[in-house]
Amino acid sequence: MMKPPAESTVIMTELVLPNDTNQLGNLLGGRLMHWIDIAAALSAQRHASKVCVTASVDEISFNEPIRLGHVVHIRSVVTRSFRTSMEVLVEVEREDPLHGSRAHTSTAYLTFVAIDQYGRPLPANGVDPQTEDEKRRFEEASIRREARLREREAISERRK
């Protein structure tokens, strides 16, 4: 079954509370990673209509701090699927509600796999990109996947 990326889009909004921050008053990186993983899992589940698990997380960059009291907007979408895996893009934006300013703070790519009741991978639904941006992301996903596989193979070879 082919699905457009828009059907997998998830938008989460979180308020940064004192329990979410470090001693500098900034959002804990681990807390943001947790929120990113939840949003990505929801997108993968929407796309697959199955239970999905995190297979890998590519690089996550923290471009600027998110402060206590800021609102965090997390948008996730499936960019491409392969035989059993799906790549999910997650973009994070922080909003300072007192000043009305917004800024992009993080981007992450995660890989998810739909599983059956025994934990075995299931075939992934195809992605049918509609917009030029979706088509670009679809093509770029293949490049990222090839890089992940090359890196995994190089590490495996080195361990022999």
Q: How confident is the model at residue 160 (pLDDT cuts 50, 70, 90)?
A: confident
The answer to whether residues 3 and 47 touch, using CB atoms and an 8 Å cutoff, is yes
Tell me: pLDDT of 42 over 90. yes
How far apart are the C-alpha atoms of 61 and 15, rounded to whole Å? 20
Counting residues of the chain whose pLDDT is more than 70, the rounded percentage is 100
Residue 110: Cβ within 10 Å count: 23
Average pLDDT, rounded, for the chain: 96
Could you tell me the pTM of the whole model? Answer: 0.93
Q: How confident is the model at residue 116 (pLDDT cuts 50, 70, 90)?
A: very high
Per-residue model confidence (pLDDT) at position 159: 83
Residue-wise pLDDT for 45-95, tens only, equals 999 999 999 999 988 989 999 999 999 999 999 999 999 999 999 999 999
Beta bridge partners of 11: 75
Q: Exposed (0-12), middle (13-18) or buried (19+): which is 17, by Cβ within 10 Å?
A: exposed
Q: Which domains does the chain have, with CATH numbers?
A: 2-158 (3.10.129.10)
